[in-house]
Structure 1
Amino acid sequence: MESIFLNNNLKLSFEKLPHSIRLIVSKNGEEWVCRKEKLKSLFTFLETDKEHLFKGRLQLIKTNDQIDIQVKNESISSISIEAFQQALIKMK
């Protein structure tokens, strides 16, 4: 499992499953929200002009060289596209 530490005791983790990746946002060490997605779809999101990924509680919004992470329509943190991409590469 790969993790990116965010601000305010939050963490974005990537868990490899047989046919997908599970993105998990943890708050104070406990799972808060998650989303399963195919690795190919996540790479496509990074490589295309698509600015928004997912609907529902967990959403990723790409702006310039950052990815804003939203939970329940509230922006909780931002990470660089490069950090997100490096975590995905380790999931291959």
Structure 2
Amino acid sequence: PLSNNLEMGKDMGTRHRAGLGMSENSDAIVVIVSEETGIISMAKNGVLIRRLDRQNLFNLLQEEIVPPAEDEEADISPLQKLLRKGGAMNHAKPE
């Protein structure tokens, strides 16, 4: 679904609206590359981060996808541990 976010600039087209819409309606992390400019963007939870270079995109994806080292596991809640292990299948989106 395309995003209905009225704060999106006029310079963003269907690709960006679709990417943002996917992130609004799921727990997906969406990477969007502008066909015209090659500008890289990332959307998560209805938030669009624009003008990422290769290193910044890598760092953001690593933070989101790569589980923390075992010594960092002590800092997260039992629910977060369960979610990272795939134990919960239905995620309720906060209102």
- Relative to the length of structure 2, the TM-score reads 0.30
- Structure with more helix by fraction: 2
- Structure with more strand by fraction: 1
- Return the index of the structure with the highest Cα Rg: 2
- Relative to the length of structure 1, the TM-score reads 0.31
Which structure would you say has the larger RCO, counting Cα contacts within 8 Å and 6 or more residues apart? 1
